[in-house]
Amino acid sequence: MSTLTTTLNAIQPVDQAAMAAAQDRQNNLTKPAGALGLVEDISIQLAGVQRQAKPSIGKPMVVVMAGDHGVTRSGVSAFPAEVTPQMVMNMLFGGAAINVLSKQIGAKTVIVDMGVAAELPDHPQLVNKKIAMGTGDITTEVAMTAAQATAAIEAGIDVINAQDAASFDILITGEMGIGNTTPAAAICAAITGAAPKDIVGRGTGVDDEGLARKQAAVEKALALHKPEADDALDILSTVGGFEIGGLAGAILATVAQGKPVLVDGFISTAAAMLAVLLNPDVQGYLIGGHRSQELGHKIMLDWLQINPLVDLGLRLGEGSGAALAYPIVATACKILSDMATFAEAAVSGKDA
Amino acid sequence: MSTLTTTLNAIQPVDQAAMAAAQDRQNNLTKPAGALGLVEDISIQLAGVQRQAKPSIGKPMVVVMAGDHGVTRSGVSAFPAEVTPQMVMNMLFGGAAINVLSKQIGAKTVIVDMGVAAELPDHPQLVNKKIAMGTGDITTEVAMTAAQATAAIEAGIDVINAQDAASFDILITGEMGIGNTTPAAAICAAITGAAPKDIVGRGTGVDDEGLARKQAAVEKALALHKPEADDALDILSTVGGFEIGGLAGAILATVAQGKPVLVDGFISTAAAMLAVLLNPDVQGYLIGGHRSQELGHKIMLDWLQINPLVDLGLRLGEGSGAALAYPIVATACKILSDMATFAEAAVSGKDA
């Protein structure tokens, strides 16, 4: 069996009995039932993921996948494509936002070259899974072949499975790739059927003309390739990106290990959609990190039925929003396990 | 000079030059300018508060002020008043949500009896500043005398000034007091002129009848006392609460020390409004912790012109929302100080 099939087959639905037990405990903690809102919801979800009534999260791993995009030749980004390898180097030397954020939360960090259009030097923290020197320009050709699409996902699976399983208990997804909000928007349009004008946003800051070029590029790519709405591999191959495929694989492998995934912004969420298309049980393992500034992110979140934890006006990627949200996830578990119940604390309940 | 006057006189406006220097540095870090949204805003604000271009936050202190409310006799709360002392005891024994949250962020925690309607036992972590055994019922009498209002604020100032100044660099406000969303709503109405029906919410969970009683109580209190919209002491005395006055004092004393305040939900925000009425320069030191589920919280936040960091559907108080938001504040400073600039990392900037 292929790596992808094995991984998809290993994914189980979340454990409803553990979730019911966690809900019951939440209702008996010394606070009005539901008064901790999403914090309670997350703790209950994690009970289902970890298949135990008192889940615990404490070992985050940030995986940043990098790739380049032929569509940048259509003028869809505010930054030149050379910034992708430059920012990968910046991450390897610890100067990027995600480095600071990973350190703050004590996360193990893995940087992966999935398809950067430059030769990167060997570095102990860089995992080389380069499929090609950037994707094709989706407005005139496929992003990648069908074989490359499968290879990208399986590379992502391998990145996760190569880690010591005990070294992390939650995956934080991140990415770097100049131009990658364009394929992410195309993926969203292909899956949801929403109009590109309602999805395409300013990314890292294109002006009005750049926004128009970006929207036109997504429309042209969809008209050219007509990807099947329920075929993740077809979508990834025709309008995707290597780092997006890698992230989809990383998500699948993490879920197959029975661990949750804290999803970052627009590009990571597109990858999560592909993972859910490949196995719908993935949905129960996803936690929304943040609400991106990017226009179509709400459409993605609604399709996935996930409610992000923070809304800080971010539009950076790299895993930054998910890393900022991470402490809330860890704390949600502590609330469930460590607070006193009404009976333990001899506190009176709500008036009948 | 009185403690209150001395404190008010010690408050300085935030440092605009430090804020400009921080803004300049943010614009040169290796990310699109503004891509970290509120995280950037907070780092710049903290530069102004700490009067340095690279602020640092790492020693949070949670102060939970507790008090009881005569207005509970009007049936405004879902929980009986006896829960206030019970929850204070729960906090002293470490079983409440705020205990778990404080521990997660490594915060020093101070619990203060400002006016609980029960004799509480001596405990090394309990500060006794009891003004009275609960307030008067604001629907028929003043909450407290003018002298008690000043005493409550000065008690809050004393709580802060009694701490080793080096032991904390940010205050997280918290409170416990069955019925205290009612005086908080009355304070908001008195200051902003907004209608009680647009402010009064369900607190910890009153039903429709309870909500109607609560709204009627606020309307009756305002009609009876007609507090002056710009007179914090009059408002506190007529429709306030001892823990709310104590928090206003704690905020003033923290700001007078040149330190920021991370404001929790509906009751804490009412206290922050009183502090700003007493000295408008306080506003620059306030960071909004979370957006409460309580109806009128948005009106308060708009009046204060602060934008909360998280929106998790919380309606607990105790300082819980601010404690959950705290890691974002600490991280905002690290981003500003530790990220590389474009020049340092040799990363290309945005296309001209």
Tell me whether residues A39 and B78 touch, CB distance under 8 A: no
CA distance A105 to A96: 15
Quickly list DSSP for A177-241: -TTTHHHHHHHHHHHH---GGGT---TTT--HHHHHHHHHHHHHHHHHH---TT-HHHHHHHH--
Q: Is B118 on the interface with A (CB under 8 A)?
A: no
Nearest CB among A35, A316, A331 relative to B316 is that of A35
Q: Is A212 on the interface with B (CB under 8 A)?
A: no
A213 has pLDDT over 90: yes
Look at residue A348 in the predicted model and tell me its pLDDT.
87
Which residue positions in chain B have pLDDT lower than 50?
Answer: 352
Nearest CB among B104, B335, B348 relative to A82 is that of B348
A141 is catalytic: no
Nearest-CA distance from B344 to chain A in Å? 9
Nearest-CA distance from A10 to chain B in Å? 33
Look at residue A349 in the predicted model and tell me its pLDDT.
80
Provide, for chain B, the percentages of residues in helix, strand and coil under a 3-state DSSP scheme, each rounded to the nearest 5.
Answer: 50, 10, 40
CA distance A169 to A105: 13
Tell me whether residues A205 and B95 touch, CB distance under 8 A: no
Identify the burial level of B209 via C-beta atoms within 10 angstroms of its C-beta, where 0-12 means exposed, 13-18 middle and 19 or more buried: exposed
Alpha-carbon distances, residue B324 vs A43, A59, A182, A324, B309 (angstroms): 14, 19, 34, 11, 9
Nearest-CA distance from A88 to chain B in Å? 10
The DSSP output letter for A164 is -
Contact B297, B266 (CB under 8 A): yes
Q: Which residues of A touch B349 (CB under 8 A)?
A: 79
Look at residue B322 in the predicted model and tell me its pLDDT.
98
Half-sphere exposure (CA, 13 Å, Cβ side) for B285? Answer: 31
Look at residue B351 in the predicted model and tell me its pLDDT.
55
Helix (H) or strand (E) holding B127: strand B126-128
Cβ atoms < 10 Å from Cβ of B13: 11
User: Looking at this predicted complex, what is its ipTM?
Assistant: 0.95
Tell me whether residues A348 and B205 touch, CB distance under 8 A: no
Express each pLDDT in B229-240 by its tens digit.
Answer: 999 999 999 999
A14 has pLDDT over 50: yes
Q: Which of A40, A154, A294, A318 is catalytic?
A: A318
A352 has pLDDT over 60: no
Substitution target from A324, A335, A344 for chain B, most B beta carbons within 10 A: A324
Look at residue B204 in the predicted model and tell me its pLDDT.
83
Look at residue A350 in the predicted model and tell me its pLDDT.
74
Q: How large is the average pLDDT for residues A157-181?
A: 98
Tell me whether residues B39 and A324 touch, CB distance under 8 A: yes
**Domains plus CATH for chain B?**
3-55+336-345 (1.10.1610.10), 60-327 (3.40.50.10210)
A191 has pLDDT over 70: yes
Q: Is A193 on the interface with B (CB under 8 A)?
A: no
At B118, is the secondary structure helix, strand, or coil?
A: coil
Helix (H) or strand (E) holding A275: helix A266-278
Tell me whether residues A78 and B32 touch, CB distance under 8 A: yes
Contact B244, B271 (CB under 8 A): yes
Nearest-CA distance from A162 to chain B in Å? 29
Q: Is B214 on the interface with A (CB under 8 A)?
A: no
Express each pLDDT in B262-316 by its tens digit.
Answer: 999 999 999 999 999 999 999 999 999 999 999 999 999 999 999 999 999 999 9
Look at residue B352 in the predicted model and tell me its pLDDT.
43
Locate A246 and state its tokens: 């890698």
Q: Which residues contact B83 (CB under 8 A, 6 or more apart)?
A: A347, A348, B178
Contact B126, B92 (CB under 8 A): yes
Sequence letter at residue B219 = E
| Residue A113 banded pLDDT, cuts 50, 70, 90 | very high
Q: Which residues of A touch B106 (CB under 8 A)?
A: none
CA distance B309 to A313: 10
β-partners of residue A64 are A111, A174
Look at residue A61 in the predicted model and tell me its pLDDT.
98
